[in-house]
Amino acid sequence: MKLKAGQKIIKTVTITPTKEMPLEVFKACWHLAYFMELMQRLPDGRVIWDENVIDIIDENMAEIEHYALQQGYISINFELPTAFVEQFK
């Protein structure tokens, strides 16, 4: 497979945020997970990260979902690049 400029193949991991996750960390993960949904998937589960993909997002949605998580109204998962998650270990 030939990748275009700005693309690279990455591995991902799924995390489940907890009530203890600070808002700023939640927002960073939320943003990344949002864009992960826009990326092309390979049959082996890896993702083609394309830095050229853009979208308009509502910053308030991350805060609303964080509040709902804090209140126990929702449980969500984030699919994130493995390299991003490993920096918190």
CA distance 55 to 10: 20
- In this prediction, residue 86 carries a pLDDT of 94
- In this prediction, residue 73 carries a pLDDT of 97
- In this prediction, residue 1 carries a pLDDT of 80
Name residue 1's amino acid: M
Q: Which of 70, 38, 39, 81 is nearest to 57 (CA)?
A: 38
For 23-72, the pLDDT digits (tens) are 999 999 999 999 999 999 999 999 999 999 999 999 899 999 999 999 99
Domain boundaries, the chain: 7-86
